[in-house]
Amino acid sequence: MRVILASPRGFCAGVVRAIEIVERALERYGAPVYVRHEIVHNRHVVEKLRRKGAVFVDHLSDVPAGAQTVFSAHGVARSVVDEATARGLPVLDATCPLVTKVHVQGRRYAKAGRTLVLIGHAGHAEVEGTMGQVDAPVHLVSTPADVALLPIDPATPVAYITQTTLSVDDTRVVIAALEDRFADVIGPSVAEICYATQNRQTAVRDLARVSDVLIVVGAGNSSNSSRLREIGDEMGVPSYLVDDGDGVDPAWIAGAGAVGITAGASAPDELVDSVIAALARVRPVEVSQLDGVVETMSFSLPPELRRPAVTAAAA
């Protein structure tokens, strides 16, 4: 059985940066380091960091006074930042720079007097953070039907921003609905959606064209991983989302000549390896990789972690 890997797949630059922030904080300040929400949406990554001394909490009230704190890659509302400041908590912000870019866009549009619409999924950590970063009402939509229900006069100047991990196609459809309903609409191009999201969605389309079955490695609460599985389904390929190799059902690959594997932006390569191993226990496999975009993007760490640590002797 042929096993074909998508390229690119797995960790993006924002996830690499977020994980490195937690790891370096543990090295520099010692355990425990408190992380508000999961640093990224992947159980294996979270558990690995927990074993090193990271403590994951849902609320800042769960963080002891003076404890080193990290904000997750998804970003947080300004109220959370203000609470941390008021409590004097030392904070390292692991918000993905591309999410921060969306925050800046939203504030700029609101300051210009436009009514702001956020294209995204209710309840997602990134969406909650983005809505809390803008000092103005934000209308959340996820489908063209939601656009039709917006309580906004069609003559109102509108601007939109987007969750970074959405399907590019779905986003394009919602933007079209906004442009149909409102006379004055501005917002970023679909091409400005997170580079990693676009690259992985393009790669999974290429993969689906040569696969009988598609397996996406990623967490169930990972928006970008779920989108990859949905794209496979939309292309008519039976597609499954698994945490790791333990989630593979041998029945999925019965009769399959080629199984495609990709991974969401918060899934490490070791989990892809575990899926390949699970498939190999069912049938002999031959592994290859499609050609794809080579990602060279990287994001700098917070200044506190770029500076050399001050030793006791130096102090």
| Residue 65 within a domain | yes
- Report the sign of the C-alpha dihedral through residues 113, 119, 122, 127, in that order: negative
Same domain, 182 and 250: no
| Residue 312 within a domain | no
Single-letter amino acid, residue 205:
R
pTM for the model = 0.93
Is 128 assigned a catalytic role?
Answer: no
CATH number assigned to the domain comprising residue 42: 3.40.50.11270
245 contacts: CB under 8 Å, gap ≥ 6 = 271, 274, 275, 276, 277, 278
C-alpha to C-alpha distance for 124 and 126, rounded to whole angstroms: 6
Choose the final residue of a domain: 192, 226, 258.
192
- Sorting pLDDT into bands at 50, 70 and 90, what band is 314? very low
Residue given tokens 């690259």 in the structure block:
199
Query: Residue 89 corresponds to which tokens in the numbers above?
Result: 């908590």
CB atoms within 10 A of CB 213: 22
Choose the final residue of a domain: 138, 169, 192.
192
CA dihedral in degrees (76, 82, 84, 86; nearest 10)? -170
Q: Which of 38, 126, 128, 230 is catalytic?
A: 126
C-alpha to C-alpha distance for 215 and 206, rounded to whole angstroms: 14
Burial of 75 (0-12, 13-18, 19+ CB in 10 A): buried
Same domain, 156 and 107: yes
CATH number assigned to the domain comprising residue 147: 3.40.1010.20
Same domain, 178 and 249: no
User: Taking residues 119-128, what's their average pLDDT?
Assistant: 95
Which pLDDT does position 306 carry in this prediction? 85
| Residue 315 within a domain | no
| Residue 188 within a domain | yes
| Residue 118 within a domain | yes
Number of separate domains in the chain: 3
| Residue 311 within a domain | no
| pLDDT above 80 for 45 | yes
Residue pLDDT, tens place only, 226-285: 999 999 999 999 999 999 999 999 999 999 999 999 999 999 999 999 999 999 999 999
Same domain, 103 and 185: yes
C-beta of residue 75 within 8 angstroms of C-beta of residue 81: no
C-alpha to C-alpha distance for 174 and 119, rounded to whole angstroms: 8
Quote the percentage of the chain above a pLDDT of 70: 97
Same domain, 179 and 221: no
Same domain, 65 and 92: yes
C-alpha to C-alpha distance for 268 and 49, rounded to whole angstroms: 13
Same domain, 104 and 148: yes
Query: What does the mean pLDDT of the chain come to?
Result: 95
Domain span at residue 57 reads 13-96+299-306
**CB burial readout 29-55, b (16+ within 10 A) else e:** beebbbbbbbbbbbbbbbebbeeebbb
Same domain, 77 and 24: yes
| pLDDT above 50 for 315 | no
Same domain, 59 and 90: yes
Same domain, 48 and 21: yes
Query: Residue 182 corresponds to which tokens in the numbers above?
Result: 């409102």
C-alpha to C-alpha distance for 312 and 105, rounded to whole angstroms: 43
Residue pLDDT, tens place only, 70-92: 999 999 999 999 999 999 999 99
Which pLDDT does position 168 carry in this prediction? 84
C-beta of residue 141 within 8 angstroms of C-beta of residue 163: no
C-alpha to C-alpha distance for 30 and 187, rounded to whole angstroms: 43
| Residue 314 within a domain | no
Give the containing element (helix H, strand E) for 85.
helix 78-87
Query: Residue 158 corresponds to which tokens in the numbers above?
Result: 């509108």
| Residue 157 within a domain | yes
